[in-house]
Amino acid sequence: MIQLKHVSKKIKKQLILDDISVQLKNGRCYGFTGYNGCGKTMLLRAICGFLSVDSGQIIIDDKELGKDIDFIQDAGILIGEADFLNSRSGFENLEILAQIRNKIKSEDVVNFMNSMGILEEKDKKVRYYSLGMKQRLRLTQVFMENPSVLVLDEPFNALDKAGVKKIQDLLVLEKKKGNLLLLTSHDQSKIELLCDKVFEIENGRIISERGHD
């Protein structure tokens, strides 16, 4: 479970997160909507520990960010631009990342690439990947170590219809496994379809919520 208690953050005197308090439970999917620049991506960055807050608390499984832990643990994260090695293949990139924590083997990487529909491209250098293929590669990285928390900022970007359906199905399965899902999307219909509760953000503040835990 993740709890945010009166979280606020200013950057260059601009309030980007304004007194946000929410409770996010395991086995649920939460969506964050709002116009570009409203603060939803910054909120996800703060939850991951990538952005320090000025006031308030972010507590993840009874551990406070910035005090007990520096970053969220056991999480698959999709925020910002992909940082792949363009001169290496998709498979090589994922294998390098998998070796950091040593939780999965090479055959697991291959299986996840297959489930994401990019197995045929596994030996192609990333510089030759299309935007859609790069997004699938990033999502493979997110899912491949079976994290208990998924933090996904615009996961459907650059995906075709088949790719969107594949990710939607995977997210439903992750929720059934009892994992916690946080996501943003500019497409309201995708958010409504997947999420148990949706928070609307405006000027760094939650102005409405709908759904239930």
> pLDDT by residue (tens digit) across 38-51?
999 999 999 999 99
CA separation for the pair 64, 83 (Å, rounded): 28
- Give the confidence band of 189 by pLDDT, cuts at 50, 70, 90: confident
CATH number of 1-74+178-213: 3.40.50.300
The answer on pLDDT for 134 being more than 90 is yes
Contact 158, 135 (CB under 8 A): yes
The mean pLDDT of the chain is 94
The answer on pLDDT for 137 being more than 80 is yes
* Tokens at 183, concatenated: 């996501």
What residue ranges do the domains of the chain occupy? 1-74+178-213
Contact 90, 121 (CB under 8 A): yes
Helix axes 131-143, 106-115, angle to 10 degrees: 130
Average pLDDT of the residues in 80-87:
89
pLDDT value for 213: 74
Sort strands 197-202 and 55-60 into parallel, antiparallel or unpaired.
unpaired
The answer on pLDDT for 13 being more than 80 is yes
pLDDT tens per residue, range 101-116: 999 999 999 999 999 9
